[in-house]
Structure formats: structure tokens, C-alpha cells
Amino acid sequence: MRAALFGLLLVPVLACQSPKAAPQAAPNLPQAPLATAATPAWALAHPEYHAHADCIFCRIVADQSPSRKVYEDERVLAFWDIAPRAKYHLLVIPKQHVRSLKELEELPAETRAALLTACVKVAREFGLEEGGFRVIVNSGKDANQSVFHLHFHVVGGEKLPEDAVRVKDKSDSGS
């Protein structure tokens, strides 16, 4: 009787420990999926797209945070930066969450191509082609990346600072 009781207690414990019962999450896989009744159909079909509940851009992709969208297709989304630093300041992002340019290879080749194509499309849509525009990707802490969902800044519509690359302190030193 005691042995039978012990067996009954042990079975669920072992079940919890089996690899099937506790799959290991890959670093970039969902912690807490955002899927809700409001999640669009395409997002439900691609759970990896709305993987990160704590990522503001994933929430925008899943229509769970507001944004001023300017372009969207199956793979990418473009919307106004919340704090524009130029007359036109749009952000182009992959719908699939990757943290930065360092993780670019996690995206399918089609999405990588779609990102740059979307940057040009958005610039064209706002009439920036003739005057010119700048595409910037901050990657990691030295570049002051602040949102860790890959994004391309598309800026233009006015004369931009001459040098987007120069490190201010070094140029100030006169060397």
C-alpha cells in the first residue's frame, strides 16, 4: 500500500522532469506570448512575430500599442518615431523580433531584403528621394541603442547634420 502510494506521487514528479514536459526555450523564443483576441490573424499564424510581451515594438506589431503606421507588408512595418528628430523620422522594423543588427542572420533572407526595400519605399512615399535621406541603425550600447528590437531610422525632409559618424569628443580635441 505504502509502495503504491509512493508510486502515485512519483509519476507526476517524473512527468514534470521529462524533457517533453519542460521544453527548453531558445533565447529568442516567447517568454510570454502577446496573443490575445485582439491579435491579428497573420500574427496568430506566426507566433514568433509577437514573441516578446516586454518589447514595445513587438506590441506595436501585434497592434497592442498605438503607432502612426506608414507602411506594412507581411514581413516589415514602418511607423513614425514617437519623438521625431527630423522633419521626417520613420522607423522600419521586421515584424519578427530580433534584438539588433547583430542578430540579423536570425531573420530569413527575404525579411532582410524587405527591410532595406521598405526603407527606400518609405523615403519615396514621403518625397525624400530627391533631397536625400539617411538610414541609421544603432546596434548595441556604444551606439546608444535604446529599443532592443531591430529598427532602421529613416530621416530626412530637411538638411541633416553634415557628419552622422563623427565622434563629438574626438573632433573637439582638434586631433
> Of these partners, ligand 5GP, Zn ion, none, which one is at the site of residue 58 (CB under 5 to 8 Å by kind)?
Zn ion
Classify 34 as helix, strand or coil. coil
Closest CA to 141 of 92, 102, 97: 102
52 part of the interface to Zn ion, by CB under 5 A: yes
81 part of the interface to ligand 5GP, by CB under 6 A: yes
Stretch that binds Zn ion, among 14-22, 55-63, 119-127, 167-175 (CB under 5 A): 55-63
What are the strands of the beta sheet with 88-94, ordered from one edge?
Answer: 69-72, 76-80, 88-94, 152-156, 133-136
CB of 76 or CB of 123, closer to Zn ion: 76
CA distance 59 to 9: 42
**Residues within window 85-104 making contact with Zn ion, judged by CB under 5 A:** 97
Q: Which of 11, 83, 109, 165 binds ligand 5GP (CB under 6 A)?
A: 83
Q: What nine digits make up the cell of 37?
A: 483576441
79 part of the interface to ligand 5GP, by CB under 6 A: yes
Q: Which of 43, 50, 57, 92 binds Zn ion (CB under 5 A)?
A: 57
**Residues within window 125-154 making contact with Zn ion, judged by CB under 5 A:** 149
H or E element that contains 155: strand 152-156
Q: Which of 101, 104, 147, 160 binds ligand 5GP (CB under 6 A)?
A: 147
Q: Which of 44, 56, 101, 160 binds ligand 5GP (CB under 6 A)?
A: 56
Sign of the Cα torsion 108, 109, 113, 114 reads negative
CA distance 2 to 133: 77
DSSP assignment of 86-116: SSEEEEEEESS---SGGGGGGS-HHHHHHHH
Sign of the Cα torsion 135, 155, 75, 38 reads positive
151 is catalytic: yes
> Of these partners, ligand 5GP, Zn ion, none, which one is at the site of residue 56 (CB under 5 to 8 Å by kind)?
ligand 5GP
> Which spans of this chain sit near Zn ion (rule: CB under 5 A)?
52, 55, 57-58, 97, 149
**Residues designated as active site:** 151
